[in-house]
Structure 1
Amino acid sequence: MAQAKKSTKRTAESEGSYAGFSDEEREAMKDHAKELKASSRGGAKAEKAAEEAAAVVEKIAGFDEPDRVLGERIHALVQENAPELAPRLWYGMPAYARDGRIVCHFQPAQKFKTRYATIGFSDAAHLDDGAFWPVGYALTTLSAADEKRIAALIKQAAAG
């Protein structure tokens, strides 16, 4: 009987079946739980917003290259083009919210061990363009033209 269980497990692993959440996914969920707990604490609204903004800057500073450079630039682009968006952490990633709803976020490549970072937009960003449009963009470097395009997307997302 023990032999049967062992062979079943080996077969499931070799077939690539679902084995649960990855370490990175579990870590993101833990980060989100901490963020929810921190946001539920009392305190002045301005004080809480300053703490959340500082947490975003601190998180970006902890990224490895090139994620740190990209994250810093995305953060600056949001601050320059949509200062009304509130920086906060979202599943351990820098994100920016309008009226409490995330409209865009930066996902470093190192977060889920991917080959590129991404800037993503939620449905609250209203980037609608017909019946089919992108909501996530891969980033490896940022040229002036890329920054101009991202700035326009951020402005559109902020306007909602």
Structure 2
Amino acid sequence: MSSKDEKNLTQVIEKISKMNEPQRSVMHRVHKIIVTADPTLKPRIWYGMPAYARSASTPALVTLRNDERMNLSITEKPAFRPAGGVDGGLMPSAWYFENVDDVTEKRIAEIIRSVAD
């Protein structure tokens, strides 16, 4: 890991650590899910939010927000695929959550891997 990557990781961990509980614990868990699902993604701060990109100098692919609700979002940078089925041509790009159970953890990992494709 380069020193820039280490600095960025530290900034993301610090940003998450400043959140109030229970969001802090949930966001730490989501961070771990993301970096485990795709170890090539590099944590960084993007517009003040924890985010994950291919490198320290490329746009973020995924962001985490903690406003009224916690949110996992795919930015406009990765290739989107229409959802199909009842959602037709809609392309899912954001998911709100209040906690993370095993089912949600699995889905977050799937989302992250789909961004990496």
TM-score (norm 2): 0.86
SS at match of 1:96: strand
Is 1:145 the equivalent of 2:103?
Answer: yes
SS at match of 2:77: helix
Structure 2 counterpart of 1:117? 70
CA distance in 2, matches of 1:127, 1:143: 26
Is 1:47 the equivalent of 2:3?
Answer: yes
**CA-atom RMSD, angstroms?**
1.5
Displacement of 1:53 in angstroms is 0.7
Structure 2 counterpart of 1:154? 112
Q: Which runs of 4+ in 1 moved over 2 A?
A: 123-127
CA distance in 2, matches of 1:149, 1:127: 17
Structure 2 segments unaligned to the other structure (5+ residues): none
| Greater percentage in helix | 1
Displacement of 1:92 in angstroms is 1.5
Query: Larger relative CO (CA 8 A, sep 6+): 1 or 2?
Result: 2
| Overall identity of the aligned pairs, in % | 29
Q: Which has the larger radius of gyration?
A: 1
SS at match of 2:35: helix
